[in-house]
Structure 1
Amino acid sequence: MTNTLDKSENKTTTIKTPNLVVSVSKIEKGSDDVSFPKRGEKIENVKSSITIPAKSLKGMSSFSTVVYKNLSGILTTSNKGEGQKQKKKINSEVVSLTMANWERNKDFSVTLNIGHFQEELSSPACNFWNTSLNGWDTLGCSLKATDSISTTCECNHLTNFAILMSPFESNNVDTKAIDVISLVGCSVSLLGLLITVGMHIYLWRYMKSDRAKILMNLSVALIISYAIFIGGVDRTENKDVCTAMAVLLQYIYLVVFFLMLTEGVEIAFMVLYVFSTRSRIRWMLPLAWLLPAVIVGISLGATQLEGYGNEQFCWLSVEGGLIWAFVAPALLIILVNFVLLILIVRATFNAQSLAQKSKQEKSKAGVRCLCVLLPLMGCTWVLGIFYVNENMAWVQYVFAVFNSLQGFVIFLFHCATNQQVRTSFQKKSKRKHSESFLSTKSSGKAISLPRISLTDVSDVSYSYDQPFKFEHQL
């Protein structure tokens, strides 16, 4: 067919059948990008298109394209490295592209936009038919964009291409909306946490306590997690980078959970054992950063990096079971913190200061108590396990809102509206004013007076370590 085209004046020859489309096109010297079908041209019942950039046309005279409209019942769906662990379905036409001597071009690449048969399937992956393995493979192909209608792939070689997708439907959830909610929420939380950390550092002399130290560790861990999530969760174009991002996310999220457990244990001791004075953070904080590293190390050793990242996002594999290396410890910590939360709220309501208040005042105190404690103890993460069927799709939106705004809620209740922060700020302002006054009085004299204020003699602040006043902080 290529020889016939060489003798013809036509630049493209196309043959159409009900289940097959074959096209051969000439490549003129100095051509820009070439495509199939040609720009502005449509081929009936063909959902796929191919674009070959100018850099890939060096030394090429023609290319041929074959579109197999439906081979889903003929070809196997087994995938290299996945075997039968993932149930996949061919959800597109199979597109074949042929060019002579393309291997000589080191910069060769081709972009394919392949339409989906069924719009409700999930987890698209760019695949090619590996003849040596007699199965589908993803090596050399990366997913550039996807939606319910089509998927765009870029590959650095030629063969038969198709989109394999999970047969599990996801038409009840708008993934774009979830992405926007997560991105906006994480950005707001990141800003709020940076302000919280900066304010605590500025007022550290007046706010130093065990709970403040835990809060700072938790805030820093959340800042790191938000930064990695925003900057790296979708870096799927590079497998090594994606794997590294998945490992980092697993570690830092586990650190966040262990710090939330530390927070829960510390608050429980403050409320339930009011006369306890021994500091626990000397061993709890180091463990909160070290135990996640042990879990991640075991996961890496057991999986040899298999399951870290996929075609859609840089996170842990669900199909291979690696996700349980995060979910299991997270659920255990949530369960422990939930029990501690019940004990804390119960003890707070039984406190003498609340016992004499009206039901309305108790309700307000209870709501504030939950707003303060839930983000710190991570109990909102339990929402993730309630998405069990299509009728519970709303849970994914609530989960995305609550957990992306966890850092903002911490900023709101532990910085912006916190009484200790306001009191500490007033003390620091008074101290500066006192030092300025003494400096002015002593100017021009041979001997200056020592700068002493009441704060230096007795630096009494509204501390988190005062268990009898805990209910007033809520």
Structure 2
Amino acid sequence: MTYLCLGLSICVSIPTYISFMYIRTLRLNTRFIIVRNIVLSVCLRDLMFLFTDFVTSLASKPSYLCEVTGALLQYMSTCAFLWMLCASTDIWLKVHFPYFNHANNIYFYRSLSYISPMFIVCATIGGFRSGYVDENSCWLSITSQSMWVFYSTAIVLIVLISIELAMVACKTTQALKNSVQPANIASTKDPKQSRNMAKSFLPLLAVFGITWILGIFLVIGGTIIFDLLFVIVNGLQGFVLFLSQFLFSKQVHNAWTESKERATTRTL
């Protein structure tokens, strides 16, 4: 089941990422730059899950190999959560500060999402030198409590993302009820656009949140049912990204149509 779910997510994540890079309007769009990096982080994390499982299955393995794979898995998982925070923050900023130049925010988002996890991983390794990973699973150790560093980070980020999306939903819903476009959401011609952007990330947030809530139950003392649910939900995150941000995205469909029309025009 693990290989099936992760394999499916990886298979759909690769063409999704390539499409976001190929279509110029999506490649330069801040929202899709963020989504593209979420897709990349989740895909690399899934590959690390498979590699970790391979390392775990080895009859004899050096201890440092387990520590390296565990550290990379923690790093990529944290990157995915931070890019989710960047997505919700970007929506919140565009709703509340529409006249601010948001194009340069992407440099801060990249630094936050790719550099800060290094410090978190290094701090975890330094704090739990003798028991950073469990050699039986090559993942953060339950015995030394190093796993709670990751779970606490994930919970804090999920709460922050939920608060930001709730604030966006309240602001845009109020504007729609009043049938007036206030100045502080003037960055969109229709407040529905901001609300739809926030709603597009809700399925992904739900999957990320449910995954690690199930993970906490597993740490406390889970059953086979929790183990199975964790594998399915965690393994299908890339597939949910494909559905919510690519397959059912009107903006992506419009971008593909425009790209085909431009290609046809050049041919003629």
Q: TM-score range by the shorter chain?
A: 0.7 to 0.9
Tell me what 1:214 maps to: 34
Change (3 A) 1:210 1:341: same
- The residue that corresponds to 1:4 in the other structure is none
**CA gap 1:272/1:374 in 2 versus in 1, 3 angstroms:** farther
Task: Measure how far apart 1:353 and its partner are.
Answer: 7.9
Which range is displaced more, 328-337 or 378-387?
A: 378-387
Query: Cα offset for 1:433?
Result: 1.8
CA distance change for structure 1 residues 353 and 409 in 2, over 3 Å: closer, same or farther?
A: farther
Supply the AA of the counterpart residue of 2:204.
P
CA RMSD of aligned residues (A): 3.0
Q: Distance in 2 between matches of 1:397 and 1:350?
A: 41
Q: CA deviation at 1:291?
A: 0.7
Quick check: 2:211–2:234 contact (8 Å CA) kept in 1? yes
* Equivalent of 1:227 in 47, 55, 76: 47
Tell which has more relative contact order, 1 or 2 (C-alpha 8 A, sep 6+): 2
Query: Are the structure 2 counterparts of residues 351 and 398 from structure 1 closer, same or farther at C-alpha, using a change threshold of 3 Å?
Result: farther
Equivalent-residue separation in structure 2 for 1:202 and 1:404 (angstroms) = 26
Does residue 1:375 correspond to 2:199, yes or no? no
1:204-238 deviation digits (Å, cap 9, x = unpaired): 34552111111111111111100110122352231
1:427 aligns with 2:258: yes
Which position in structure 1 is the counterpart of 2:90? 266
Name stretches of at least 5 consecutive residues in structure 2 with no aligned partner. 181-194
- Supply the distance in 2 between the matched residues of 1:391 and 1:315 (Cα, whole angstroms): 17
Instruction: Quote how far apart the aligned CAs of 1:284 are.
Output: 2.1
Cα separation, 1, equivalents of 2:20 and 2:236: 20
Matched, 1:188 2:12: no
1:387 maps to 2:217: yes
Higher Rg of the two aligned structures: 1
Which of residues 289, 295, 308 in structure 1 aligns to 2:120? 295
Secondary structure at the counterpart of residue 139 of structure 2:
coil
Residues 60-459 of structure 1 correspond to what in structure 2 (within 5 A)?
180=1, 182-205=2-25, 207-236=27-56, 237=58, 238=61, 239-279=63-103, 280-304=105-129, 306-311=131-136, 313-352=137-176, 370=199, 372-375=201-204, 378-384=208-214, 387=217, 394-437=225-268
Please say if residues 75 and 121 of structure 2, whose CA atoms lie closer than 8 Å, have aligned partners that are also in contact.
yes
The answer as to whether partners of 2:27 and 2:33 remain within 8 angstroms in 1 is: no
Bigger Cα displacement from structure 2, 289-298 vs 201-210: 201-210
CA contact under 8 A between 2:26 and 2:32: conserved in structure 1? Answer: no
What per-residue deviation string (whole Å, max 9, x for no partner) do you get for residues 277-334 of structure 1?
A: 33322212212111110111122223335332322x1101111111122122111111
8 Å CA contact retained: 2:91, 2:198: no
State whether residues 34 and 86 of structure 2, in contact with CA within 8 Å, keep that contact through their aligned partners in structure 1.
yes
State the distance in 2 between where 1:301 and 1:254 align. 17
For 1:326 and 1:211, locate their aligned partners in 2 and report how far apart those are by CA, in whole Å: 26
Q: Is the 8 A contact 1:207 1:421 kept in 2?
A: no
* Shift in alpha-carbon separation, 1:391–1:290, aligned structure 2, 3 A: closer
Partners of 2:5 and 2:232 within 8 A in 1 = yes
**Amino acid of the residue matched to residue 416 of structure 1?**
L
Distance (Å, rounded) in 2 between the aligned partners of 1:331 and 1:322: 15
- Whole-angstrom CA distance in 2 between matches of 1:392 and 1:416: 34
Q: Is the 8 A contact 1:383 1:395 kept in 2?
A: no
Q: Which is richer in helix?
A: 2
Q: Give 1:376 shift.
A: 5.1
Structure 1: distance between partners of 2:10 and 2:249: 19
Shift of 1:261: 1.2
> C-alpha separation between the residues in 1 aligned to 2:222 and 2:261?
58
TM-score normalised over the length of structure 1: 0.47
Superposition TM-score, scaled by structure 2 size: 0.80
- Aligned-residue identity in percent: 20
AA matched with 1:282: Y
For 1:209, the aligned partner's letter is N
